[in-house]
Amino acid sequence: MNLRARAMSLFLLGFVRLLTGAQARWHGCPPKAEQRIYFANHQSHADLVLIWAALPQELRSITRPIAARDYWTASSFKRWITSEVFNAVYVDRERKGDEDPLQPLINALESGDSLILFPEGTRGHEEDPQAFKSGLYNLAKRFPDVVLVPAWIHNVQRVMPKGEVVPVPVLCSVTFGEPLALGPEEPRTAFLTRAREAVMALRNV
């Protein structure tokens, strides 16, 4: 990370924590520097930033958020901040030809990175998460040694309501739950349902 990106990282970290508190609650697993996939509910473009800010520095430095390419590269500033500050992994929300949309995530995991993933794929507008897409299952099957940690983001949709561009100060937190493992021969639908329920169970913790 160059000096400019480092300065922006510190500024954003301070700003987000001042605005939201960005509290991390570790319920069922400690903050540990091991390769993980954190998977969470998705209701705001601020979700990526909030989880990033909630992680301690030793985890933040080895964890890369997943960012939708069409949104986060729409301007030079968004592209710079996601690539240089967050070290994000860009994904295409629409399949292009024979390209595997998970390939950027596979590359990151193969290089030893941890990931922040939103299995709904797109933002939801209800409190309950939408059905999880198959990406989390496919990654869990391909990388059985990577620890899968569910997370619930509290109140972030109130910080940046739909259609608003100015954030509102609201106390937010991220609750990280007990790791989940793909069972032997567990069907995709059953696993994704169980993963979604693990995220939702953290709502009232």
Task: Name the pLDDT band for 140 (thresholds 50, 70, 90).
Answer: very high
Judge whether 161 lies within some domain.
yes
Model pLDDT, residue 166: 44
User: In the predicted model, what is the mean pLDDT of residues 171-198?
Assistant: 93
Judge whether 132 lies within some domain.
yes
Give the CATH number for residue 196: 3.40.1130.10
Judge whether 180 lies within some domain.
yes
Model pLDDT, residue 157: 54
Strand order in the sheet with 147-154: 23-26, 173-176, 147-154, 36-40, 114-117, 63-68, 89-91
pLDDT in tens, 52-71: 888 998 999 899 999 888 88
Model pLDDT, residue 202: 94
Q: What is the mean pLDDT of the chain?
A: 85
Q: Which domain holds residue 64?
A: 3-200
User: In the predicted model, what is the mean pLDDT of residues 132-153?
Assistant: 96
Model pLDDT, residue 196: 96
pLDDT in tens, 83-109: 998 899 999 877 776 778 899 999 999
Task: Name the pLDDT band for 169 (thresholds 50, 70, 90).
Answer: very low
Judge whether 70 lies within some domain.
yes
Model pLDDT, residue 88: 92
User: In the predicted model, what is the mean pLDDT of residues 179-183?
Assistant: 96
Judge whether 205 lies within some domain.
no
Q: What percent of the chain has pLDDT over 70?
A: 86
Number of domains forming the structure of the chain: 1
Model pLDDT, residue 18: 75
pLDDT in tens, 17-64: 776 666 889 998 999 999 999 999 987 777 888 888 889 989 998 999
pTM of the model: 0.87
Judge whether 104 lies within some domain.
yes
Task: Name the pLDDT band for 149 (thresholds 50, 70, 90).
Answer: very high
Judge whether 55 lies within some domain.
yes
Judge whether 33 lies within some domain.
yes
Whether 153 shows a pLDDT value over 50: the answer reads yes
Task: Name the pLDDT band for 182 (thresholds 50, 70, 90).
Answer: very high
